[in-house]
């Protein structure tokens, strides 16, 4: 078990800066998810921790050990690859024991670990098969098994679920979490899927264009996104954004889009609000923070319903208030009908405000 | 965020690096060095580079010196003579003939091989009983050592006992014992050389094409059929473009090889009659090795180089695709 | 029912007829190729077993035996020539060439296909360009080097020279093979505890067995069939390899020992044909590998 510490890591490929001044500490026993859109440098960061790629500058520590010059084989890590990378010429047993033999683990111990891992992953009946005789899900399990039996200090996983179908993905996600609760090995998990990140991570590091945007717990990311990018990235359907100017109206600080006015959330009141007066901002509110009016507070608006999508337990409507369009998640009983007007209330106390220029969150 | 900001001070960092290095035994240190991509890379290509430098690069350099000096077998390090050898070669009628022959030989062999190779490839692609056997038979010429194959043809084309002429006479093409003297007359000798070369290389061309064609995904062809594409359209618009890269590689390899090869010519005719069937390679061999005119022989061989270089540049584009991702 | 089955039957017959016509056309198209390929080989075969008087007979059909078949020529090959020695030489030189080729090409192809370091691309190009140097240009300087090494007029001169053909070609071939192996497999091995060398030997090579076999076959057949370098470097009969020996020692001045020549050739060709048929597909995939994806 170990912490992993990245300090001011840069990685350049020619002119491309794949990772830009990344500093990150993964705590002992933590499950940290590295998430971000395609090409943002997640894989590169993970490969540098593994030693498969050398950082242009910066330091990486595993435990207390500086591993900058240490080749992958001596870092005591295990990695699960997106395409599994099983050794095609070996059967499952040999795939699992390959690393152990190289580490000179004694034979009985190898046997014990393989049996344990195989039972845990439900692959005990596949041990004599070659990788090409396995289904995608089974291969994925063998790849996980290969990492588990090593009992390394750190697990590194690069989108290990992305080649599975949706149902298997959900199930394996749960299995992985259970596994982590049992073995408690420090894990860095890379994905581009924010749902996967939110459900799995103890903490989540959001990256974009090689830059770390925010490092926080799932709750923290959801409740207080540090900037516009994170706010838009986390949550599905994504947060609604409107551009506007901060104004003093009837003694209250409001965001004015030109046609619609909404109050600033209480968090942004006071000094921050005064400082923001007259500035261009982006006002964000999540679709789930909009309800049909039922008299229990919220900021009332009359919206024209343009599209209604029934999802069974809820409906997602695309609504229009005087030219400002947004998505809302409503109860099926709210009675939304295409073309009709519907009174909605916005829970503006849970809204977010971002500086339009810097895109950083404004808070008091 | 606070703990992220906490960074080891520079002093502490330097000592950490130093400590990590000092703890290594010399063996571990060598191990580390080998894990370095560049060190490992140079070490691994070193044997190939050394071998080639010593056994190709060095002789090549000497050969270059030969071309500009009056080197002979008895006196290999001859005096510098500038472009005398080249001038001599350019004035040599036999060489000019050989130069023309080389192009005729190479280009017509390749053309015939491509056309008939494609036909044969399609025939071999059909599933029929005995396909493996037929394929093995068709492959036979490629497995007979080319030198011996050429001798066998020489026997078949023997001026007196030619079995080819016997069969031709039986079929009524020419009178008994009145067939052409295949290897004794200029035109016929050149035709014979090309035929033997095609005989030898056609199987390979066909097999490469078969591999290319069968690698085309069946769905694409089916989709094209559904779109109403006929046989010829499917070939021209779909198959040929898809297998173009493979044809291109096979063709270039084979061109370069045919261009510098002298075996068939040497064994069939040795350049006869009256030096009319030499290719550059065989004439350079006669001049340089048999007659000992090192400088002239080398100058002749080098004459091929510009053409080969064009071939090389085309191949290199493909090589780049292999070295980079 | 009857109304339905009758048309179907006629349709079936028409269909069968059409297919039969197709098959005949197909056979007619294939026939010239088979004859062209097979006839010289048949001719070699029958020449091997003909009596000498039967060979030089202008009266009768040369395609069949007009006198009783004989093993005379084959016996001559084995008893009056160094054929057995040539065969042994070929195996020895072949083994050395294969060993040198593998030792040199595997590491070079691996790093050139997989790694990028300063100059890697130019080195790859450099190795490949060797293939283009005309052999005739190299004969003379090389024979001087062989004199220097004390190898001239021995089979070992050939063992040293042949790798200059096999190295560029086989490096190229192996690069295609190595490219097709997913990079992640070697990375997984390195994370699992292999050094870079270890990953090559424990993971890449076992997966590349078909490619390695192809190289072995290529190198060996080259040694078996090469003629021009042999002609230049070796004149002592007991140092010759099989093809050179057959072609030079069985032609004495104007006298051709046709039967023995053909016998010597066929004995080489038959095993080679067999092996080629087994490995042709891998061989072709090796040459074209990189360009087909
Ligand atoms: N070997 C390489 N050579 C050059 N550029 C590279 C290399 N590897 C990655 N890059 C570049 O670095 C950037 C980050 O790539 P990386 O693979 O880390 O992205 P990622 O976040 O893992 O994306 P994805 O979700 O698509 O896997 C990209 O712009 C990519 O093009
Ligand atoms: Mg990635």
User: Which of A72, A83, A89 comes nearest C191 by C-beta?
Assistant: A72
- On whether both A96 and A137 belong to a single domain, the answer is yes
**Which pLDDT score is estimated for B5?**
41
**Which pLDDT score is estimated for A159?**
93
pLDDT for residue A272 is more than 70 = yes
- Alpha helices per DSSP H over chain A: 42-50, 92-102, 107-121, 136-149, 166-183, 194-200, 218-223, 228-233, 271-276
CA A41 to ligand 1 center in whole angstroms: 6
**Is A68 part of a structural domain of the chain?**
yes
pTM here?
0.84
Looking at beta carbons, which residues of chain A come within 8 Å of B16?
66
pLDDT in tens, A71-93: 999 999 999 999 999 999 999 99
**What band does A166 get if pLDDT is binned at 50, 70 and 90?**
confident
Atom of ligand 1 nearest to the CA of A40: 21
pLDDT in tens, A14-45: 899 999 999 999 999 999 999 999 999 999 99
From C231's Cα to the closest Cα of chain A, the distance in A is 44
**Which pLDDT score is estimated for C3?**
42
Q: Do the beta carbons of residue A256 and residue A244 sit within 8 Å?
A: yes
pLDDT for residue A103 is more than 70 = yes
- On whether both A225 and A300 belong to a single domain, the answer is no
**Which pLDDT score is estimated for A251?**
79
- Domains in chain B, please, with CATH? 27-67 (no CATH), 84-324 (1.10.3720.10)
> Is residue C167 less than 8 Å (CB to CB) from chain B?
yes
Give the CATH number for residue A39.
3.40.50.300
- Domains in chain C, please, with CATH? 8-33+40-70 (no CATH), 74-291 (1.10.3720.10)
**Is A202 part of a structural domain of the chain?**
yes
Q: Can you state the angle between helices C242-249 and B146-156, rounded to 10 degrees?
A: 30
Last residue of a domain, one of A178, A213, A233: A233
Last residue of a domain, one of A217, A233, A249: A233
- On whether both A291 and A164 belong to a single domain, the answer is no
- On whether both A320 and A216 belong to a single domain, the answer is no
- Alpha helices per DSSP H over chain B: 2-5, 10-22, 26-35, 37-52, 58-67, 84-91, 93-125, 131-143, 146-156, 163-170, 186-214, 218-226, 231-233, 240-260, 263-268, 280-285, 294-303, 305-323
Last residue of a domain, one of A233, A248, A265: A233
**Which pLDDT score is estimated for B11?**
54
Question: Which residue ranges of chain C lie beneath pLDDT 50?
Answer: 1-7, 290-293
Q: Which residue has the higher pLDDT, B223 or A270?
A: B223
**Is A361 part of a structural domain of the chain?**
no
**Is A363 part of a structural domain of the chain?**
no
Cβ distance of C195 and A150 shorter than 8 Å: no
The reply to whether ipTM tops 0.90 is no
Residues of chain B that touch chain A, judged by Cβ-Cβ distance less than 8 Å: 1, 3-5, 7-8, 13, 16-17, 20-21, 31-32, 35, 37
**Is A119 part of a structural domain of the chain?**
yes
DSSP secondary structure of A278-344 = T-EEEEEE-GGGEEE--SS-SEEEEEEEEEEEE-SS-EEEEEEETTEEEEEEE-GGG---TTSEEEE
How far apart, in Å, are the Cα atoms of B280 and each of A6, A35, A60, B148, B265? 65, 65, 63, 22, 10
Domain housing A69:
4-233
**Which pLDDT score is estimated for B22?**
64
Instruction: Give the residue-averaged pLDDT of B64-85.
Output: 78
- On whether both A70 and A180 belong to a single domain, the answer is yes
Best residue for ligand 1 mutational test, from A6, A10, A38, A43 (most atoms within 8 Å of Cβ): A43
Q: How many domains, chain A? A: 2
- On whether both A116 and A67 belong to a single domain, the answer is yes
User: Which of C182, C185, C192 comes nearest A99 by C-beta?
Assistant: C192
- On whether both A207 and A253 belong to a single domain, the answer is no
**Which pLDDT score is estimated for C291?**
43
Token readout for C228 is 């021009």
Q: Whose CA is nearest to atom 7 of ligand 1?
A: A13
Atom of ligand 1 nearest to the CA of A14: 4
Number of CB atoms found within 10 A of residue A89's CB: 17
**Which pLDDT score is estimated for C53?**
84
**Which pLDDT score is estimated for B223?**
84
Cα nearest neighbour of A88 on chain C: C207
Cα nearest neighbour of C262 on chain B: B152
- On whether both A208 and A289 belong to a single domain, the answer is no
Atom of ligand 1 nearest to the CA of A11: 12
Token readout for B279 is 């290719």
Q: Which residue has the higher pLDDT, B323 or B102?
A: B102
Cβ distance of B17 and A68 shorter than 8 Å: yes
Ligand 1-lining residues (CB < 6 angstroms): A 13, 16, 18, 36, 38-44, 192
In angstroms, the CA A108 to CA B40 distance is 35
* Mean per-residue pLDDT of chain A: 92
**Is A360 part of a structural domain of the chain?**
no
**Mutation site for A-interface testing, chosen from C191, C193, C194, C210 by largest number of A Cβ within 10 Å:** C191
In angstroms, the CA A358 to CA B216 distance is 53
Closest to C241 (Cα-Cα) out of C94, C73, C90: C90
Closest to C114 (Cα-Cα) out of C124, C125, C104: C124
- On whether both A129 and A247 belong to a single domain, the answer is no
**Which pLDDT score is estimated for C1?**
40
pLDDT for residue B2 is more than 50 = no
Rounded to the nearest 10 degrees, how much is the dihedral formed by the CA atoms of C153, C155, C156, C160? 100
pLDDT for residue B250 is more than 80 = no
- On whether both A136 and A260 belong to a single domain, the answer is no
Q: Do the beta carbons of residue A290 and residue A334 sit within 8 Å?
A: no
- On whether both A77 and A201 belong to a single domain, the answer is yes
> Is residue C254 less than 8 Å (CB to CB) from chain A?
no
Cβ distance of B147 and C225 shorter than 8 Å: yes
> Is residue C42 less than 8 Å (CB to CB) from chain B?
no
Looking at beta carbons, which residues of chain C come within 8 Å of B131?
none
Cis peptide before A237 (omega within 30 of 0): yes
**Which pLDDT score is estimated for C279?**
75
> Is residue C53 less than 8 Å (CB to CB) from chain B?
no
**Is A132 part of a structural domain of the chain?**
yes
**What band does A141 get if pLDDT is binned at 50, 70 and 90?**
very high
**Which pLDDT score is estimated for A85?**
93
A328 burial type by CB count under 10 A (0-12 exposed, 13-18 middle, 19+ buried): buried
Atom of ligand 1 nearest to the CA of A190: 22
**Is A287 part of a structural domain of the chain?**
yes
- On whether both A250 and A224 belong to a single domain, the answer is no
Q: Determine what percent of chain B is predicted with pLDDT higher than 70.
A: 88
**What band does A56 get if pLDDT is binned at 50, 70 and 90?**
very high
Kindly identify the ligand whose nearest atom is closest to the C-alpha of A193: 1
From C151's Cα to the closest Cα of chain A, the distance in A is 43
**What band does B324 get if pLDDT is binned at 50, 70 and 90?**
very low
């Amino acid at each position: 078990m170990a912490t992993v510490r990245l300090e001011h890591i840069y990685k350049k490929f020619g002119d491309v800066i794949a990772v830009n001044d990344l500093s990150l500490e993964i705590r002992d026993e933590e499950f940290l998810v590295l998430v971000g859109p395609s090409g943002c440098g997640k894989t590169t960061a993970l490969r540098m921790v593994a030693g498969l790629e050398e950082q242009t500058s910066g330091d990486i520590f595993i435990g207390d050990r500086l591993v900058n010059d240490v080749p992958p084989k001596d870092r005591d890590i295990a990695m699960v690859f997106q395409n599994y990378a099983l050794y095609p010429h070996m059967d499952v047993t040999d795939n699992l024991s390959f690393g152990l033999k190289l580490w000179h683990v004694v034979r009985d111990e190898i046997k014990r670990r393989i049996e344990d891992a195989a039972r845990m992953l439900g692959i005990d009946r596949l041990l004599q098969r070659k990788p090409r005789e396995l289904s995608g899900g089974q291969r994925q399990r063998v790849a996980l098994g290969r990492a588990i039996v090593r009992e390394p200090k750190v697990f590194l996983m690069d989108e290990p679920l992305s080649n599975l179908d949706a149902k298997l993905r959900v199930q394996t996600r749960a299995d992985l979490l259970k596994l982590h609760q049992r073995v408690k090995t420090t894990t860095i998990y890379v994905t581009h899927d924010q749902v996967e990140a939110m459900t799995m991570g103890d903490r989540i590091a959001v990256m974009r264009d090689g830059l770390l945007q925010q490092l926080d717990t799932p709750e923290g990311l959801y409740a207080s996104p540090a900037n516009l990018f994170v706010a838009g990235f986390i949550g599905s359907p994504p947060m609604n954004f409107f551009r506007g100017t901060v104004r003093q109206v009837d003694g209250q600080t409001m965001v004015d889009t030109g046609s619609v006015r909404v109050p600033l959330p209480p968090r942004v009141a006071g000094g921050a609000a005064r400082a923001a007066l007259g500035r261009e901002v982006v006002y964000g509110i999540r679709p789930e923070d909009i309800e049909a009016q039922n008299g229990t507070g919220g900021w009332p608006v009359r919206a024209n319903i343009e599209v209604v999508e029934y999802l069974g337990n809820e409906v997602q409507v695309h609504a229009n208030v005087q030219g400002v369009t947004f998505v809302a998640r409503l109860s099926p009983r709210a009675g939304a009908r295409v073309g009709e007007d519907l009174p909605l209330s916005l829970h503006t106390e849970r809204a977010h405000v971002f500086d339009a220029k810097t895109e950083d969150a404004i808070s008091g | 965020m606070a703990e992220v900001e906490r960074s080891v001070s520079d002093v502490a960092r330097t000592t950490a690096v130093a400590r990590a290095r000092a703890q290594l035994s010399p063996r571990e240190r060598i191990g580390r060095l080998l894990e370095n991509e560049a060190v490992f890379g140079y070490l691994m290509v070193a044997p190939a580079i050394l071998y080639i430098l010593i056994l190709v690069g060095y002789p090549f350099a000497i050969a270059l010196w030969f071309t500009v000096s009056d080197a002979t077998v008895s006196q290999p390090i001859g005096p510098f003579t500038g472009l005398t050898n080249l001038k001599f070669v350019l004035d040599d009628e036999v060489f000019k003939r050989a130069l023309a022959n080389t192009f005729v030989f190479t280009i017509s062999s390749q053309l015939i091989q491509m056309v008939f190779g494609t036909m044969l490839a399609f025939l071999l692609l059909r599933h029929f009983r005995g396909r493996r056997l037929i394929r093995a038979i068709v492959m036979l010429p490629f497995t007979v050592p080319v030198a011996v194959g050429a001798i066998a043809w020489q026997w078949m084309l023997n001026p007196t006992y030619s079995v080819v002429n016997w069969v031709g006479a039986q079929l009524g093409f020419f009178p008994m014992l009145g067939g052409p003297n295949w290897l004794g007359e200029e035109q016929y000798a050149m035709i014979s050389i090309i035929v033997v070369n095609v005989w030898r290389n056609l199987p390979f061309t066909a097999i490469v094409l078969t591999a290319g064609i069968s690698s085309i995904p069946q769905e694409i062809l089916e989709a094209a059929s559904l779109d109403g594409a006929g046989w010829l359209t499917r070939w021209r618009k779909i198959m040929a473009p898809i297998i173009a890269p493979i044809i291109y590689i096979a063709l270039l390899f084979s061109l370069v090889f045919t261009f510098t090869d002298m075996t068939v010519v040497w064994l069939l005719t040795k350049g006869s009659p009256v030096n009319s069937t030499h290719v550059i390679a065989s004439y350079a061999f006669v001049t340089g090795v048999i007659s000992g005119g090192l400088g002239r022989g080398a100058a002749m061989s080098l004459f091929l180089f510009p053409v080969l270089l064009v071939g090389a540049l085309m191949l290199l584009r493909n090589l780049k695709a292999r070295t980079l991702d | 029912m009857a109304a339905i089955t009758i048309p179907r039957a006629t349709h079936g017959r028409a269909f069968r007829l059409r297919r039969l016509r197709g098959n005949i056309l197909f056979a007619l198209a294939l026939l010239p190729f088979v004859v062209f390929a097979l006839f010289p080989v048949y001719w070699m075969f029958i020449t091997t077993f003909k009596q000498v008087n039967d060979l030089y007979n202008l009266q009768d059909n040369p395609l069949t035996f007009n006198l009783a078949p004989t093993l005379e020529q084959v016996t001559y090959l084995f008893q009056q020539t160094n054929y057995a020695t040539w065969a042994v030489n070929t195996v020895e030189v072949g083994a050395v060439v294969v060993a040198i080729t593998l030792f040199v090409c595997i590491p070079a192809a691996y790093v050139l296909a997989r790694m990028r370091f300063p100059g890697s691309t130019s080195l790859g190009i450099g190795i490949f360009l060797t293939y283009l140097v005309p052999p005739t240009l190299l004969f003379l300087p090389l024979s001087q080097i062989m004199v220097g090494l004390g190898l001239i007029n021995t089979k070992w001169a050939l063992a040293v020279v042949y790798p200059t053909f096999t190295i560029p070609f086989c490096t190229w071939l192996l690069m295609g093979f190595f490219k097709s192996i997913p990079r992640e497999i070697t990375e997984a091995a390195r994370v699992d505890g292999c050094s870079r060398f270890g990953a090559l030997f424990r993971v890449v090579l076992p997966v590349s067995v078909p490619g390695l076999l192809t190289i072995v076959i290529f190198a060996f057949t080259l040694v078996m069939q090469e003629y021009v370098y042999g002609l230049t470097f070796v004149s002592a009969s007991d140092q010759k390899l099989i093809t050179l020996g057959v072609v030079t020692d069985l032609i004495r001045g104007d006298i051709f020992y046709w039967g023995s020549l053909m016998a010597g050739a066929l004995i080489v060709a038959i095993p080679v044909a067999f092996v080629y048929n087994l490995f042709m597909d891998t061989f072709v995939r090796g040459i074209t590998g990189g360009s087909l994806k």
